[in-house]
Amino acid sequence: MRTVLFTAHNRLSILHSGGEYFPALIEAIDAARVEIYLETYIFSLDDVGTVVRDALKRAASRGISVHVITDWLGTGHVRGKMLADDLVSAGVEHHSFNPWFRHGIARTHRKICVVDGTVAFVGGINIISDYRNDDPDHDELIAPRWDFAVRAEGPLVAHVQRIMQLQWLRTGRLGLISRIQRLREGRIRPGRVVENSGMAGFVVRDNLRNRRTIQRSYQRALGLSRHSVYIANPYFAPALRFCRALAHAVERGVDVSILIGVGEFRVQDAVAQSFYRRLLSKGIRLYEYRKTQLHAKVAVIDDDWATIGSSNVDGISLFINQEANVVVRDAAFARDLRTSIEAAIAESVEIRLEDFASRPWYKRWLYDAVFVVYRGLMRIVTLGDYT
């Protein structure tokens, strides 16, 4: 069964990090004529965040209907309230996603903007400076964060806008009956694929009608891979099915390379490293990106299938949080993204099985312990879905 509804004739642009993303985003906001929807995990009030905020306020002053959703945890309670008060006073509508964990532990980790139903932005880039770490302290980075987004025009935008409109309603004050009706509308149903250029699909993950859509899109592409797989991800801790899909690809002769971001959180590094021995022993090539913060969630398979979005390859993104990816079936787009990944790999450190095996015994023991604990916790919080 297909997991992605593809549409053709989309015009797609890869935006590399905030240096390309924020000028394009602000240009679209300033050109808005009717409405804007923006959703983000982090909305910082640094020099970049204030520029985006001011653009949203300018749009509202022109009579544009502006809707902003920020995550209560990711943006922060205090910072989020300051932002909300500022936006609302300027005529911008604002919703905070799941404040005080009232609806469970899930967060909105999505980074989406739709303007006038004609242009959409989807990716992994938060509203924060490229030179600020996205941890709570926002420490300064020595080089710009490595991240990506997609700017899209064409039929794909209608799907993005529909999901954003539903998200806006869900995060508002709806009665129980209305909320249930909106939830039923939230599934993006697979359809017939028309082979053509600019083919793209919008894939979301939630805890209702789209619980496994992003993972299944990955697994289907991996299952059909013939030549190469490139994955870049900062928080890499895949479930068993995902690991098996990678291993089976290698068994078929596919070259599988995974670029992992390290150095942001020690605990997260330990979780990722707890998977290294298992992945390396299957013939998967692993690289650590240490130049700056790697925040991109991207992949290219066979120069035919590519994805850019907010979803990490870990239990939290694939089984708990709300996420959004664009999946593209376009050779030129895939080649451009692969070139960027290969350039980052060239600046990275390859991790080999023999090097990993030579690490002190207590570190290897720690990795195994972390693996068991992480897997157990994920199975508990996902009610057994983490498989």
Confidence of residue 135 (pLDDT cuts 50, 70, 90): confident
User: Where exactly does CATH 3.30.870.10 map onto the chain?
Assistant: 11-182, 205-381
- Say if domain 11-182 classifies as CATH 3.30.870.10: yes
pLDDT tens digits, 25-68: 999 999 999 999 999 999 999 999 999 999 999 999 999 999 99
Catalytic residues: 109, 111, 116, 295, 297, 302
pLDDT tens digits, 288-324: 999 999 999 999 999 999 999 999 999 999 999 999 9
Pair 287, 363: CB distance under 8 Å: no
Residue 253 has pLDDT above 90, yes or no: yes
What is the CATH architecture of 205-381?
2-Layer Sandwich (3.30)
Return the percentage of the chain with pLDDT > 90, whole number: 81
The overall pTM is greater than 0.85? yes
Tell me how far apart the alpha carbons of residues 150 and 307 are, in angstroms, rounded to a whole number. 9
pLDDT tens digits, 73-127: 999 999 999 999 999 999 999 999 999 999 999 999 999 999 999 999 999 999 9
Residue 187 has pLDDT above 70, yes or no: no
pLDDT of residue 183: 47
